[in-house]
Structure 1
Amino acid sequence: MRRLTFGMNLSLDGYTAAPGDDLGWSVPSDELFQWWSDRVEATGLALYGRRLWEAMSSHWPTADQQPGATPAQIEYARRWRDMPKVVFSSTLSAVDGNARLVTGDAVPEITRLKAEDGGPMDVAGATLAAAAMRAGLIDEYAIVTHPVLVGGGTPFFTALDNWVDLTLVETRTFPGGVLLTRYETRQ
């Protein structure tokens, strides 16, 4: 059975994007960028919601060919392209690259994917993760908290019907006061 992790950058007040989908507050240090790149390398399958898919797929497929691309950006672009992806959307008609599109209900498909053999899965995108969270499908939360208050936007967590008990499994501080906390769900 595969493990499912929800990990994203978030503001101290709990948002993955500020109003207007502004991500300017979450520019990673070189060390944090490498941590995210290593996560992509270790991911067996990434699950994307439409909005994050559109943002990532508009940049990373050719980021390594852009003037001034750093070695780390080149490596991340290669890893991102190679990583198998499933995109969940009711409005897209096609996806490209190493991805396939699912237009139906995400929860049964995520449940089916978790039951398969294979490497760990990451869910990317707060809206898609909210559905998996409410269904009790997330095994780990990787929270990368930036020391900024953005006052609103897209929340990392969704409203839940029941408590979810968690166990802290890792903490790490990155430059600029950015803090990683990883929690596993208690079964």
Structure 2
Amino acid sequence: MRKLTFGMNVTLDGYIAAPGDDLGWSGGDGPDSSPSDELFQWWSDRVAATGLALYGRKLWNAMSSHWPTADRQPGATQAAIEYARRWRDMPKAVFSSTTAAVDWNTRLVTGDAVAEITRLKAEDGGPMDIGGATLAGAAMRAGLIDEYVLVTVPVLVGGGTPFFTALDGWVNLSLAETRTFPGGVVLTRYETRR
């Protein structure tokens, strides 16, 4: 059975996006900042190790608007070039009923997300990552997430899209890892206790 992880950058007050889907806070040093080299490398290595990435529509739109050609942009760093290549190569599934087409080693899923994620978890293969608040929320409510990775940025945005969705019951977790990054960013990784 494949492991399913929900991991994203999150504000200290629990949001993955500020009002208006603003992600400018995610680097940790104010509006429109970039993550530290160390944190960016951590995310890049995570992409390289992912067997299948599951995206909701909004996150897909954000990622696919930049990463497919980021390695060809003027002034692209070696780290950005490596990430872009890893991202394009990583198998991906986009869950959306309104997206018409996908590309870059990606398939489109228009049916029941929970049923498809359940099917994918039962397959052999590498670990799966899930991203996007609505999609991850559906997987949370269905009890499908095995691990939560919160990369907490020391900023308060006061509202927006929460990392956690409303649940029908408690989910007990065990702390598996903590790590600090430059700029006061803290990674916490929790495993679901079953």
Fold match (TM-score > 0.5): yes
Q: What corresponds to 1:184 in structure 2?
A: 191
Q: What corresponds to 1:107 in structure 2?
A: 114
In the TM superposition, residue 93 of structure 1 has moved relative to its aligned partner by 1.7
In structure 2, C-alpha distance between the alignment counterparts of 1:107 and 1:20, rounded to whole Å = 27
In the TM superposition, residue 127 of structure 1 has moved relative to its aligned partner by 1.1
Q: Which amino acid aligns with 1:15?
A: Y
Gapped regions of structure 2 (runs ≥ 5): 28-34
Q: What corresponds to 1:59 in structure 2?
A: 66
Q: What corresponds to 1:20 in structure 2?
A: 20
Q: Deviations over 1:124-183 (max 9, x none)?
A: 111110000000000000000010100000000000011000000000000010000000
In the TM superposition, residue 106 of structure 1 has moved relative to its aligned partner by 0.3
In structure 2, C-alpha distance between the alignment counterparts of 1:125 and 1:23, rounded to whole Å = 13
Residue 4 of structure 2 corresponds to residue 4 of structure 1? yes
In structure 2, C-alpha distance between the alignment counterparts of 1:129 and 1:48, rounded to whole Å = 9
TM-score after normalising by structure 1:
0.99
Extract structure 1 runs of 4+ deviating beyond 2 A.
Answer: none
In structure 1, C-alpha distance between the alignment counterparts of 2:136 and 2:51, rounded to whole Å = 17
Question: 1:19-168 maps to which residues of 2 (within 5 A)?
Answer: 19-27=19-27, 28-168=35-175
In structure 2, C-alpha distance between the alignment counterparts of 1:65 and 1:160, rounded to whole Å = 42
In structure 1, C-alpha distance between the alignment counterparts of 2:48 and 2:139, rounded to whole Å = 22
In the TM superposition, residue 104 of structure 1 has moved relative to its aligned partner by 1.1
Give the CA RMSD over aligned residues: 0.5
Aligned residues: 187
Q: Which amino acid aligns with 1:36?
A: W
In structure 2, C-alpha distance between the alignment counterparts of 1:29 and 1:44, rounded to whole Å = 25
- Identity, in percent, stands at 84
Q: Deviations over 1:84-121 (max 9, x none)?
A: 00000011121112000001110000000000000000
- Aligned partner of residue 148 in structure 2, secondary structure: strand
Q: Deviations over 1:3-33 (max 9, x none)?
A: 0000000000000000011111102111000
- Aligned partner of residue 6 in structure 2, secondary structure: strand
- Aligned partner of residue 25 in structure 1, secondary structure: coil
In structure 2, C-alpha distance between the alignment counterparts of 1:179 and 1:53, rounded to whole Å = 25
In structure 2, C-alpha distance between the alignment counterparts of 1:94 and 1:86, rounded to whole Å = 11
TM-score after normalising by structure 2:
0.96
Q: Deviations over 1:31-73 (max 9, x none)?
A: 0000000000000000000001011011101100000000000
